[in-house]
Structure 1
Amino acid sequence: MAARDEFRVYGYRWIVLVAYMAIVALNQLLWITFAPVTVEAAKFYGVSDLYIGLLSMSFMIVYIVVSIPASWAIDTWGIRIAVGIGAALTGIFGLMRGLVSDNYTLVMIAQVGIAVGQPFILNAVTTVAARWFPMRERATAVGLGSLAIYLGILGGVALTPWLTIQYGFSEMLWVYGVASIGAAIIFFVFGKERPASPPCPPELEARSLVFDGLKQIMHQKDFILLLVIFFVGLGVFNAVTTWIEDILRPRGFSITQAGAVGGMMIGGGILGAIIFPLLSDYYRKRKPFIVLALMGAAVGLMGVAYGPGFTVVSLGAFLLGFSLLSAGPIGFQYGAEATYPTPEGTSNGLLILMGQISGIIFIFGMDAFK
């Protein structure tokens, strides 16, 4: 009985997860802000579409530089401090965008500041799950943490065109800035490092040092394959969400229809991020669900790229989102399990890093072939 009392599960874990999800969602909303209004933003600032794309691409470029230091901070200082750094940067620079909304250069500087905070936040999802949740709930917790990414993107895709049309471009950035400060405050108030006693036996929490973990990862064949999967899958997602309006405009789609297609993709991702991780935890399997998701994503991508009309493209986008985005949280948790005892922040950060690198390549490639 004494051994069992050494670890327990606290209801407060859900409050911590929700506080974490709030700052994740706002950070991603700030990333995607300009994608659904590319043409309008280009006119507002008097620049080309590529310069507007760079506002989103800055997140991917900065991630490549900051990812490993951020993972080190998460694994060394813990989620309270590391995610707190990301939350502070998101809140401060999110508000700055509203203050300098009519100046492209200053908005880009603010965007880079938010981008620096991104890996401190996103790389912590498996660490939050490991600190607060028992093993049987971890894929679900990671799935909900990843769900916040998709909710933030969906909010940006759906709200940005509406706010811009109703209130104006500067006012839209002001609204997002105030929301960012609110999300940062929520995390600082409710985000805690760990419960009074661990949710699992100590051996399931023990991890190696960060740089020792990096060496171990290079010898894990399953993880190397997972890196390749994230390189392609996350890269495609980053590129499609960045250029969604430019992809559909030449085929006769309006800005409203482009936003709806983007919303269908994220909506499918939200549903997939709920269903697949739950099934993965229930059956205690990771690989079959990743393979199934990739097959569905390939079919969905074909629908988006070659669909003859709005309905087919929307259905393809839904399937692409459902399949591709549901694979993310399962992949994160599988990566953490496959590379044990490598720290969760390190494995998680490397997976996202692959998607940022490929996202830059795909975005530039898609712009070149426009």
Structure 2
Amino acid sequence: MGDESKAVDGEVNDNNYFSKTAATDAEVTFENQSTPPETRLYKKRWIIVLLFSSYSLCNSYQWIQYGIINNIFMRFYGVDSFTIDWMSMIYMLTYIPLIFPVSWLLDKKGLRVIALVAAALNCTGTWIKVASARPDLFPVTFLGQFMCSVAQVFILGMPSRIASVWFGSEEVSTACSIGVFGNQLGIAIGFLVPPILVPNVEDLDQLAAHIRVMFYITAGVATFLFVLVVIVFQERPELPPTHAQAAARRISPESYSYTASILRLLRNKAFILLVITYGLNVGCFYAVSTLLNRMIIEHYPGEEVNAGRIGLTIVIAGMVGSLICGIWLDRSKTYKQTTLAVYLMSLVGLVIYAFTLNLGHLWVVFITAGALGFFMTGYLPLGFEFAVELTYPESEGTSSGLLNCSAQVFGIIFTICQGKIMDSFNTLAGNLFLCAFLLIGTFITACIKSDLRRQLANQQALAAAALGRSDVQDHSGTSLLPSTHM
């Protein structure tokens, strides 16, 4: 069985890992059974992931709705460009201190509670912003954005958990991609819609009316989605979708230690390297997205609408990349190879984008930005799924939380630094600054050991079922099935 698992995407460190985790406080022993645990896939799983994607879309749309018309909001509220940049960076800053308590809540309270809190916070934030469409109420609009940023903390860790709890082993990567898809589509709409709804008019009263319309539309959608979550969203299916999930359900909540889980993750060298590389890649994407309006306006004055369309192109191309990568992972299981290839192409895409931005041809920018988005945004679900493989049977919410925390930290650093470099030099220097870190991330990704623990667990469970048993033991008698909360 060990040789078979090693044939999938490189090397799998099997007995060593599961022997160690079996010794944890969360150890679970499985009694011999004549039949394996019953599993089933429910059609409702697609409703659950699509509903999640929808309220994730509504939240991520608001992340960039200020930044993409940076110059308009600067004039309306009478603040500088760096202050408007913080309307995007507050999403990143809020995430860092809150991710650990929220991950703990996800493990203790489950998917439904987290979904309800996320939708409620997002809805509250949108209605606060409705009341802020006056030039003297910038603190109010910032409060509304802050509420939405807190909601985001409850959202970003859920795609991989929903995929594991609701979907089969052959579709978890696709399901995770769909979960991330909603976030990406929201960003795409955030690039496209604000420049259309809020034109750059001189009269402040007229501008306030346009802004108010945009805020009302967002609040209406957020309220509708909150009601749907209350009515429809379900914690988990009655029967588990996979043998790995069935094993996870046998673990009592009292046996799971969130602190111990964090410590195990921090000792996982392959995962720590992935945390760094994920943060570098996604941090670069955050910086490019936040500063896109400034970059385009510098070379193409008056092109606010096209700046939004270029942002849309980046994200739509990334959505296509995400889905393709998710389907490819489910079929090939080549997690490290695919992640490394996409990472390298993200670097190549950013280099080409950096050197073609100032050519004076917007159609060239559309093409290069689309190529950049296909790989850079398409990388997001790859990082989540690779992390789950490297860290199984640890909680998906915890591992994805650490990934996103790294992304937020690097996102803030890169956005501030690139903005300062652009102010002092030019956009080319700012983009080359990001390229240097993507190059570092590519080398680190190549050093990550491909240790596919979730794949091994499913293979061993299938082998156990074929033998008419629910426990698979190594030569020492140690259970090789998962021993901690999933």
Q: TM-score, normalised by structure 2?
A: 0.74
State how far apart, in whole Å, the 2-side matches of 1:336 and 1:210 are. 16
Tell me which of 126, 138, 142 is aligned to 2:160: 126
Gap regions ≥5 residues in structure 2 = 1-32, 200-206, 424-486
Q: Does 1:257 align with 2:306?
A: yes
User: Match of 1:315?
Assistant: 367
Partner AA of 1:100 in structure 2? S
1:1-370 correspondence runs (5 A): 3=35, 6-102=38-134, 103-165=137-199, 168-201=210-243, 202-203=246-247, 208-252=256-300, 254-307=303-356, 308=359, 309-369=361-421, 370=423
Partner AA of 1:229 in structure 2? T
Residue 61 and residue 147 in structure 1: after superposition, are their counterparts in 2 closer, same or farther (change >3 A)?
Answer: same
What's the offset of the Cα at 1:311?
A: 2.6
Residue 271 and residue 205 in structure 1: after superposition, are their counterparts in 2 closer, same or farther (change >3 A)?
Answer: farther
State how far apart, in whole Å, the 1-side matches of 2:323 and 2:257 are. 32
Partner AA of 1:194 in structure 2? R
What's the offset of the Cα at 1:2?
A: 7.9
Partner AA of 2:247 in structure 1? E
RMSD of aligned Cα (Å):
1.7
What's the offset of the Cα at 1:106?
A: 0.6
Contact map agreement 1:90 1:114 (CA 8 A) in 2 = yes
What's the offset of the Cα at 1:5?
A: 6.5
Between 168-177 and 132-141, the greater mean CA deviation after superposition: 168-177
What's the offset of the Cα at 1:269?
A: 0.5
State how far apart, in whole Å, the 2-side matches of 1:228 and 1:122 are. 17
Contact map agreement 2:131 2:140 (CA 8 A) in 1 = no
Partner AA of 2:408 in structure 1? Q
Partner AA of 1:272 in structure 2? G
Partner AA of 1:56 in structure 2? S
State how far apart, in whole Å, the 2-side matches of 1:170 and 1:302 are. 39
State how far apart, in whole Å, the 2-side matches of 1:297 and 1:115 are. 27
What's the offset of the Cα at 1:139?
A: 0.7
State how far apart, in whole Å, the 2-side matches of 1:37 and 1:325 are. 21
Contact map agreement 1:95 1:180 (CA 8 A) in 2 = no
State how far apart, in whole Å, the 2-side matches of 1:187 and 1:2 are. 40
State how far apart, in whole Å, the 1-side matches of 2:35 and 2:182 are. 35
- Provide, for residues 314-336 of structure 1, a one-character-per-residue CA deviation record: whole Å limited to 9, x for no partner: 22211111111222112101101
What's the offset of the Cα at 1:50?
A: 1.0
What's the offset of the Cα at 1:257?
A: 2.1
Aligned residues: 370
State how far apart, in whole Å, the 1-side matches of 2:387 and 2:353 are. 29
- Provide, for residues 135-155 of structure 1, a one-character-per-residue CA deviation record: whole Å limited to 9, x for no partner: 111111100000111100011
Between structures 1 and 2, the one with greater helix share = 1
For residue 58 of structure 2, give the secondary structure of its aligned residue in structure 1: helix
Identity of counterpart residues, as a percentage?
27
State how far apart, in whole Å, the 2-side matches of 1:42 and 1:311 are. 28
Q: Mark the structure with the bigger radius of gyration.
A: 2
Q: TM-score, normalised by structure 1?
A: 0.96
Residue 206 and residue 310 in structure 1: after superposition, are their counterparts in 2 closer, same or farther (change >3 A)?
Answer: farther
What's the offset of the Cα at 1:53?
A: 0.8
State how far apart, in whole Å, the 1-side matches of 2:249 and 2:290 are. 37
State how far apart, in whole Å, the 1-side matches of 2:52 and 2:84 are. 29
Partner AA of 1:131 in structure 2? V
What's the offset of the Cα at 1:204?
A: 5.8
State how far apart, in whole Å, the 2-side matches of 1:315 and 1:258 are. 13
Contact map agreement 1:75 1:344 (CA 8 A) in 2 = no
Partner AA of 1:79 in structure 2? L
